[in-house]
Amino acid sequence: MVSLWSLAALTLVAARWIDPPTTAVHIERRLQAQISDTPYQERYKFIPLSQISPNLQHAVVAAEDARFYQHHGFDWHAIQLAAQEDMEGGRTRGGSTLTQQLVKNLFFGTGRSYLRKAAETTLVPVAELVLGKRRILELYLNVVEWGPGIYGADAACRTYDGASARAIDRQQAARLAAILPAPRKRRPERMNSYSAVILKRMRQMGW
């Protein structure tokens, strides 16, 4: 366990300069397609953060982790709210930060277990320390799943909007961000209500 953790930590250090060629989620989806014998085409191209529209950067932060620039890997306020909503039987938000989601994407896939959660928890501070906020956001936007076989901002923008990630406007960005909680089920064109919420959050955050 220690050796695997050390390897993951070293991978995070390397990710400060090296763009990941694949992730645990990417590998998981390929294996699922092979096992089920279903067609699978992967679209994944890593691009610099400077080539991703600020509209999309802001929409994703507003939708997934509003306190991204304030916390150090864990948003205890969001975790408390999520726990309270769970107890009340009406959960509407998650408690995971972009840093937590990035670590899970890179190393653990979509599965859940207490062991994996514990390992994720110990790697998040490492990611925050060695990568910094700008690189964490760049990595997340490039590796996150945006639909079946669609990974990263470049593939998502070209697939759904026929445009480069640099050219996405506010409305398009909000619709793309709205599908992230369930990217294999949701489609941007159906996200009218939630995209409006994201646009409101963006305005409240000064974007």
Q: Hey, where are the domains in the chain?
A: 2-14+42-204
User: What is the longest distance spanned by two Cα atoms in the chain?
Assistant: 47
Nearest to 94 by CA among 106, 81, 111, 109: 81
Q: What is the pLDDT of residues 34-64, one digit of tens each?
A: 999 999 999 999 999 999 999 999 999 999 9
* pLDDT(90) > 50: no
Q: Are strands 150-151 and 43-44 parallel, antiparallel or unpaired?
A: parallel
Percentage above 70 pLDDT, the chain? 91
Residue 75 backbone class (left: φ over 0; alpha: ψ -120 to 50; beta: rest): beta
| Predicted model pTM | 0.91
The top-level CATH class assigned to 2-14+42-204 is mainly alpha
CA angle 134, 107, 52 (to 5 degrees): 30
Cβ–Cβ < 8 Å for 195, 62: no
Q: How far apart (Å, rounded) are the C-alpha atoms in residues 160 and 177?
A: 12
| Sign of the CA dihedral running 84, 87, 92, 93 | positive
pLDDT of residue 82: 58
CA of 147: how far to CAs of 19, 177, 179, in Å? 21, 12, 8
pLDDT of residue 92: 47
pLDDT of residue 79: 67
CA of 207: how far to CAs of 2, 5, 199, in Å? 42, 38, 9
* pLDDT(69) > 50: yes
Other Cβ atoms closer than 10 A to 51 = 12
Q: What is the pLDDT of residues 134-172, one digit of tens each?
A: 999 999 999 999 999 999 999 999 999 999 999 999 999
